[in-house]
A and B are shown apart, each in its own frame.
Chain A
């Protein structure tokens, strides 16, 4: 099986994966936004003045939040998030003498009921980073939720997860988190083995697919896949967005999922990042919640993969990576799908896969000249749309036309804007159009 983009997408050389993951020392003060996923925000379970241990539950919600350092809660303040909204933020000042929570380990997770395992996954607060930043437990629940019930008997109509796809390289070619984590598996794949057993136990998926780049070295992983009869999907490293959820789901299942109005995991295919899969082991075997994450720091062509506590300031992460504080643009995530933020004075969340620092000279200013109908966008669009026409519908407020032209099939990958010779801000138009259509629906 191969990913058939048939010449679509854009060619972008993937930067080499660094050999080591650099660890950012735990800071003396962390700030924890109570919204760390696309789900509803968490509700603080501690108050100002409380003392918290390392790993203690401090906020409850779809993805519960745990203290990444031991210390004292000094306040609940508000910070502007990258999307412009204000998020409540818990501030903890470190005090290592308070110690750590003893996690409830479990030596025999595979003997447990799937429901219990799923609950442990939920309690660990695992979030899959990226544009949508979904809560892992929600993704699994969506995927295995019954389609409906037989009216007479109340029996559930099951909808089995057919394909479980594990992504080992980032969708954005300028990020290297997943590749670095995969490289770290070179010696020992037992954790991954156990994680997959747990996930298969929960989802009863029929087929596992391991997604690797064609250039990616992963001998032990490939051997493990061969042992278990998992499919290894090799995709082109340098074609963006070959590793997107939608295209991987299509390649794994042999059928294109309808992505308008619904998520890929509703089509019987679950696409998970390898770091999320590994977090499952920590959750169900060790009882350990998510306290840190890998983050790619990119400046120019200098790429580093770091590991930092959530709540660490991006300023601090950039400083450890060796960058000073003068930037033109700061992007949370990769340059292709990340969100620009107006300041680096914002903490790392579970949903931040990267930090891209651009110089003033690198900052793109969209010229937004009139469309010349060159058709390049239609040539590269992985969703086979005509972005040029969609962008014009959205520009001129023809929301119904835009919706009819499959606006909601757009995944905002940005290929169209990347190639547009007229310098049109295509994704901006698409997002605006989607919001307008949604607003009209709910009105």
Chain B
């Protein structure tokens, strides 16, 4: 399960955890988030702007 980070504010969507407050259950893949998904923290970056976090 991967993490995707907003390049502006650092909000990170962890697929394993989902985002309970936003209504995305744990295990929800990032790809399954709505197409118009906007960073819930800053709203100035959209789904296509998010960067996959490389875990080394």
The answer on A and B forming one complex is no
| A interface residues (Cβ-Cβ under 8 A, vs B) | none
| B interface residues (Cβ-Cβ under 8 A, vs A) | none
